[in-house]
Structure 1
Amino acid sequence: MSRTDPRGLLIVGASLAGLRTAEALRAQGFTGALTIVGDEPHRPYDRPPLSKQVLTSDGPPPGAELPLSGDLEARWLLGGPAVRLDEGTRTVTLSDGTHLPFDGLLIATGSTARGWPADRPAPPRGVFTLRGRDDALALRAELVPGRRLVVVGAGFLGGEIAAAARGRGLDVTLVEAGAQPLQRAIGAEGGAFMAALHREAGIDLRTGTTVTDFRSSADGRITGLRLSDGTELPADSAVLALGAVPGTGWLTGSGLAIEGGVRCDPYLRALRTDGTVVPGVVAAGDVAKVPQPLADGTALALGHWTNAVEQSATAAHTLLNPAAPQPYTGVPSFWSDLHGVKVRSVGLPAAADEARVVEYDLEARRLDIAYHRAGRLVGALTIGRTNRLAAYRNTLATVGGVAAGRRLTNTRTGGVLLRRGRL
């Protein structure tokens, strides 16, 4: 591809991955036409603050806008989503009928909040999801001290919303289908630690149960929820934090492999349903389903901020150098801040078949867990031990490295098993 191709490059998705890839394209020497399409009317903004600073702030909400480079020289088409990709004519169609031809395309349409199942009656007014800026502002208006909020789903987003609401003085109930919060993501030990933090903060955590239906007033406003264990919870409002769905609906019929995200090769090139590469089309961010060496090459779509940032350089290089692409080799990572602690992780804890607890000290709010798969380190999680992450990351970057962890004798503190050791 010429770096000054007259048709230019098209980025569909005006969020973090799209913006960072646009910047990387310019930094890598592309001087041609660059068009960025976004379904929201807003310029790119950061999503992590939405469930933290935006919900907890008083007065005007803090800005979450991402800074824009003055020399980006892009055409912005905002407020109208893409609805179709035609690989044969190499065009993308927008909801208003606009056809955008391209020579190179980045798919960065992220994900949307998973809503209430379509085969059940629709939730009443006062039931929210949180994905975008407008969602956060609407939810913040509901967080009035003394009101009752039920958060459905105790993953990272649900936990952050519950923590923010509790910090604002609400009566918060957190409902989780699993035995512990985040158990599939960080295991039973990490999940138990998170559960203890929530309960210590005064959140009513209900595990092993789900919401079956809602109760509402005559005017259609939520008044409560019914759980699968028979419990009824009063509520002034509720939030569904049931996970995310990759933004691939507009790619239906395109010929791309889009189950659970846009299936990519290690160079972030989009693949067809037959496994062949689509020339000049790449994906990055939440929507990209990329082979993960730490999971033995299984393709995964990871909705992490760092993933969106770090994939941008690879996506740009692949678009500009189709004959000499370079694989994406970033180590996944994520973070969360809730109840006054910093939760940090590297690698893929969810891919592990064994969790080795290095430190578990609830009283001091310190946690260190190393995750292994077939004896090889594949991830780590820390709370209050951020300085240990660099060593874990260095080991994970080698892919084949094995952590030299060791288990020590257990001591008992306050009814919680406390394992102490070091890597």
Structure 2
Amino acid sequence: MSGIIVVGAGQAGASLVETLRAEGYDGPVTLLGDEGAAPYQRPPLSKKYLLGEMTRDRLLLRPEAFFAERGIEVRAQARVASVDPSAKVATLADGETLPFDKLAFATGARPRLLPPEMGGGLAGVHAVRTLADVDAMRAAFEPGRRLLVVGGGYIGLEAAAVAAKLGLAVTLIEAAPRILGRVACAETAAWFAALHRAHGVDLREGVGLARLEGEDGRLARAVLADGETLDVDFAVVGIGVQPNAELAEAAGCAIENGVAVDAACRTSVPDLFAAGDCASFPWRGVRVRLESVPNAIDQGAAAARAMLGAATAYDPMPWFWSDQYDVKLQIAGLAKDWTRIVTRPGAREGAISHWYYRDAELIAVDAMNDPRAYMSGKRWLESGHSPAPEALADPAADLKTL
């Protein structure tokens, strides 16, 4: 008997199948994953789980019985090899075929890896994406060991913060002129660079990696682009991710920075949908792909409703967060093409926020240990309100009056 198949058992896939049942769908629902684990949270992997402050069972999105009780078949070791939209059949790597009426791709993204010629295949070189990735590196986080972090994005910074907190000697290199170059303003980047240096991280901006070198197949040193050689015990590579769109592309779906979907999460192929990190969608005149938990949850739910014939335009307010040391960064909006940054000190010591304007329009906010600024910014962005930059810059001005 056919039904709905969801390929990808991460946050988006779990949200999608849960919404199908919540909205009254009573046909067969199958959730296919290839990690050998029930759906789990990814953000704590590089934070509390790596620190040892969260156990494996607490990572689960839902108790395993949750899906069974709702008649959702979860197959955690089922890699999909192909999807035939004409025959309405998904074929697994072992040759098994599964019929479907509708299918959704929630295949997520994968880390960009160093090529073999740069030492990417050496033992002791790690990426951060899956539970298996973090399990493979946890034992290396011992006080006194030397860690090289390649890449100054949020994943690299979070790994560096965990390592420094655990007493490792951490060097972080970023080839671009500054950290967070693609996602944050220079003011936010400088604030976090100072934070990491204050915790003993040797943070080097504008310094690329030439190659990693090993002994007996294991990482032993790093050669930097400027010729300097560093002895290291292991490395974490955080140089971005790429969407897992190959399966959808082979099924005939249009690809544009991921699986291209319309405002209702429909791909270019009838009865095929996509949601989460793998999907790009139209948003306020541009096409975006959001790598965040809120987007995975909300877009997964939107895809489920579209599959059931209740399609609505997906119009999210992007928001993100990052935990580093005792700092919680909260972000609302998309920081792109800004023309002005307004800095506002928070009400309590150490709190600060940076506000992004495109001319007179507020488009995003970065709030460091300042939840009040974040919540105000998020509400303003959702309502389309833009307080005057000059008024916002005045620390004496009450956010409520703005």
Which TM-score band (shorter chain)? Answer: over 0.9
Which residue of structure 1 aligns with residue 328 of structure 2? Answer: 342
Which residue of structure 1 aligns with residue 52 of structure 2? Answer: 57
Alpha-carbon spacing, 1:252–1:312, altered in 2? closer, same or farther (3 Å): closer
Residue 288 of structure 1, aligned match among 262, 279, 289: 279
Q: Secondary structure at the match of 1:252?
A: helix
Alpha-carbon spacing, 1:403–1:266, altered in 2? closer, same or farther (3 Å): farther
Which residue of structure 1 aligns with residue 376 of structure 2? Answer: 391
Which residue of structure 1 aligns with residue 85 of structure 2? Answer: 87
| Between 89-98 and 101-110, the greater mean CA deviation after superposition | 89-98
Q: TM (normalized to structure 2)? A: 0.92
Residue 29 of structure 2, aligned match among 22, 25, 34: 34
Alpha-carbon spacing, 1:325–1:60, altered in 2? closer, same or farther (3 Å): closer
Q: Equivalents in 2 of 1:252, 1:261: separation in Å?
A: 9
Per-residue CA deviations over 1:306-329 (Å, capped at 9, x if unaligned) read 1111112211110001xx520112
Q: Which amino acid aligns with 2:287?
A: A
Q: Equivalents in 2 of 1:366, 1:93: separation in Å?
A: 52
Which residue of structure 1 aligns with residue 388 of structure 2? Answer: 404
Which residue of structure 2 aligns with residue 48 of structure 1? Answer: 43
Q: Equivalents in 1 of 2:123, 2:386: separation in Å?
A: 51
Q: Which amino acid aligns with 2:324?
A: L
Asked if the contact 2:343/2:393 (under 8 Å) is kept, the reply is: no
Q: Equivalents in 2 of 1:87, 1:252: separation in Å?
A: 12
Which residue of structure 2 aligns with residue 331 of structure 1? Answer: 317
Bigger share in helix: 2
Asked if the contact 2:209/2:222 (under 8 Å) is kept, the reply is: yes
4+ residue stretches of structure 1 with deviation over 6 A? Answer: 407-410
Which residue of structure 1 aligns with residue 225 of structure 2? Answer: 228
Q: Secondary structure at the match of 1:23?
A: helix
Q: Secondary structure at the match of 1:269?
A: coil
Which residue of structure 2 aligns with residue 112 of structure 1? Answer: 110
Q: Equivalents in 1 of 2:28, 2:354: separation in Å?
A: 47
Per-residue CA deviations over 1:277-314 (Å, capped at 9, x if unaligned) read x2222211111101122xxx211111101111111221
Which residue of structure 2 aligns with residue 245 of structure 1? Answer: 242
Q: Equivalents in 1 of 2:251, 2:54: separation in Å?
A: 45
Q: Equivalents in 1 of 2:80, 2:228: separation in Å?
A: 43
Residue 136 of structure 2, aligned match among 123, 127, 138: 138
Q: Equivalents in 2 of 1:88, 1:206: separation in Å?
A: 52
| Between 304-313 and 59-68, the greater mean CA deviation after superposition | 59-68
Q: Equivalents in 2 of 1:394, 1:282: separation in Å?
A: 30
Q: Equivalents in 2 of 1:79, 1:156: separation in Å?
A: 30
The residue correspondences of 1:154-233 to structure 2 (distance < 5 A) are 154-217=152-215, 219-233=216-230
Point out where structure 1 has 5 or more consecutive residues left out of the alignment: 1-5, 272-277, 411-418
CA RMSD of aligned residues (A): 2.3
Q: Equivalents in 2 of 1:103, 1:11: separation in Å?
A: 11
Asked if the contact 1:352/1:371 (under 8 Å) is kept, the reply is: no
Q: Which amino acid aligns with 1:37?
A: L
How far apart are residue 58 of structure 1 and its match? 7.0
Point out where structure 2 has 5 or more consecutive residues left out of the alignment: none
Per-residue CA deviations over 1:145-187 (Å, capped at 9, x if unaligned) read 1000001011111111010011111000111122222122011
Q: Which amino acid aligns with 1:358?
A: T
Per-residue CA deviations over 1:6-49 (Å, capped at 9, x if unaligned) read 51111101111111111111010101100110011100010011
Q: TM (normalized to structure 1)? A: 0.88
Q: Equivalents in 2 of 1:390, 1:122: separation in Å?
A: 41
Q: Equivalents in 2 of 1:420, 1:181: separation in Å?
A: 31
Residue 254 of structure 1, aligned match among 251, 255, 276: 251
Q: Percent identity?
A: 36
